Amino acid sequence: MKLDYANDGILSEYLESSKKDLYAYYQAHYANKHTALAQVSTPQTAPATSTGALIHSPQKNFTARFQRKTTTIINELDEYFKLPPEDFETCSPVHWWMGRRAQFPNLFWFARDLLCIPGSAVAVERIFSGGRDTISLRRASLRPETIKILMLVKKKLHLVRTQSTAALRK
């Protein structure tokens, strides 16, 4: 995007401002919150006998000294921005993030939250219209749980009707 906005100072400045806002939001809400902690094995001692002597050597985990201890915190956003761009036509964002969730555990949760937002308002408008049909003036005193159940049943019936119509056309 920097190359696209190189000749436009206002848009280039807006891009940099948006990037700073993204970093701030990521740091405040996602950074180091979902990182899988490395499980380090601790040496275990064997149970003592009645005489107090150990049955086996107290140092069972001889590979513990070879385990890498990472103290550097990797900024996942910087690592993500270093990746080459994917082909827009062939790449599925959901599958891409599922494949990278071990590499970017915090960014995965951030992307998951962003990708669940509908791409258009059509689906949301359709839900509100369905709610208006369910909650008429005569049914205005329905409890929220009842409204939820009615709307879910209505959607399920609509899906079954669509599937049965498609099956009959075959």
Q: Specify whether 26 is located in the same domain as 92.
A: yes
From 40-44, 48-52, 108-112, 121-125, the region with the lowest mean pLDDT: 40-44
Confidence category of residue 39, pLDDT binned at 50, 70, 90:
very low
Domain holding 27, by residue range, is 22-32+74-117
| Closest C-alpha among 79, 71, 83, 67 to residue 106 | 79
- Tell me whether residue 59 is in a domain: no
What pLDDT, on the 0 to 100 scale, is given for residue 128? 76
Q: Specify whether 126 is located in the same domain as 110.
A: no
Q: Specify whether 28 is located in the same domain as 81.
A: yes
CA distances from 136 to 130, 140, 144, 155 (A): 11, 6, 14, 18
pLDDT digits (tens, 9 = 90+) for 69-109: 554 557 899 999 899 988 888 989 989 999 999 999 999 99
- Tell me whether residue 26 is in a domain: yes
Are 35 and 106 contacting, i.e. CB atoms less than 8 angstroms apart?
A: yes
Q: Specify whether 28 is located in the same domain as 100.
A: yes
Q: Specify whether 27 is located in the same domain as 91.
A: yes
Other beta carbons within 10 Å of 79: 12
Q: In this structure, what is the dihedral angle of CA atoms 165, 167, 169, 170, given to the nearest 10 degrees?
A: 170
Q: Specify whether 125 is located in the same domain as 159.
A: yes
The stretches of the chain forming alpha helices (DSSP H) are 9-29, 76-82, 93-99, 105-115, 122-134, 144-169
Residues present in the chain in total: 170
